[in-house]
Amino acid sequence: MVMPFDALTELSDDVLMRRQAQGDGEAARVLTRRHAPRVLNLAWRMLGDRDEAEDVTQEAMLRLWRAASDWQPGRAQASTWLYRVASNLCTDRLRRRRGVALDAVPEPVDGAPSADQRLMAADRAAALQAALDGLPERQRVAVVLRHLEGLGNPEIAAVMETSVEAVESLLARGRKALAAKLAPDREELGLDR
């Protein structure tokens, strides 16, 4: 039975996955709009490159579609599953990139004072991205999921297949490293006020 898009948005991921496996295009659309933006954001923060982040997002969603026929309700959350796949795909890309493309790492912002709040916010976001790019991969995943995606530590632990204590440690080290990287530009970026 074909259901309108609005009605499908009320359904759980498990139900939508079953419908997708049966070829329900509207279920796929709901799943895409529910999860793909968050996967894209994670990939963008991990990779610092929009095109690569889109490639990762498409690949992660394709793997979700392929898993639909064997999806077991209640066993895993689609969001957790997708974050795990996406972070692994990003890690693979970063490892391939390592040592080859140092020039591709975005330069920190030059510190020129911004005239209005929007430019200031853009500068702050760019500075944070540059700082994130310098973090070890697992710290980066943990920080992005916690502070940009708003996940709790237990869910991050599920995504990263590790313990909550390990996540707390990764976050603490990640925050310290970020604070140190941002420190020289903190005044100019208006981060102290």
Partner 1 sequence: MTQERDAISPREQEALERAFAAARDAAPPLSAALEAAILRDAVQAAAPRRAVGTPVPWWRGLWQGLGGWPAGAALASAATLGIALGYGGAKPLAGIGDVLLDSGQTASAEDGLEDALYAGYDLALLEDEG
Task: Identify which of residues 155 and 185 has a Cβ nearer to partner 1 in the complex.
Answer: 185
Q: In angstroms, what is the minimal distance from the CB of 125 to partner 1?
A: 4
CA-based angle 105:144:72, to the nearest 5?
Answer: 120
Q: Which stretch binds partner 1 (CB under 8 A): 6-14, 30-38, 88-96, 154-162?
A: 30-38
Residues 163-192 that bind partner 1 (CB under 8 A): 168-169, 172-173, 175-176, 178-179, 182-183, 186, 189-192
CA 193/CA 180 separation, integer angstroms = 17
What backbone phi and psi angles, to 5 degrees, belong to 72? -105, 115
CA 166/CA 170 separation, integer angstroms = 6
Q: Which stretch binds partner 1 (CB under 8 A): 5-13, 50-58, 71-79, 88-96?
A: 50-58
Residues 56-75 that bind partner 1 (CB under 8 A): 57-58, 61-62, 65-66, 68-69
Q: How far is CA 66 from CA 69, 81, 88, 174, in A?
A: 7, 13, 17, 34
Q: In angstroms, what is the minimal distance from the CB of 149 to partner 1?
A: 9
Task: Identify which of residues 98 and 186 has a Cβ nearer to partner 1 in the complex.
Answer: 186
Task: Identify which of residues 66 and 98 has a Cβ nearer to partner 1 in the complex.
Answer: 66
Q: 142, exposed or middle or buried, with CB in 10 Å at 0-12, 13-18, 19+?
A: buried
**Closest among 93, 106, 1, 27 to 54, alpha carbons compared:** 93
Q: How far is CA 75 from CA 20, 24, 96, in A?
A: 17, 22, 32
Q: In angstroms, what is the minimal distance from the CB of 90 to partner 1?
A: 15
Binding site for partner 1 (CB under 8 A): 20-23, 25, 28-29, 32-33, 36-37, 40-41, 44-45, 50, 53-54, 57-58, 61-62, 65-66, 68-69, 120-122, 124-125, 127-129, 131, 147-148, 168-169, 172-173, 175-176, 178-179, 182-183, 186, 189-192
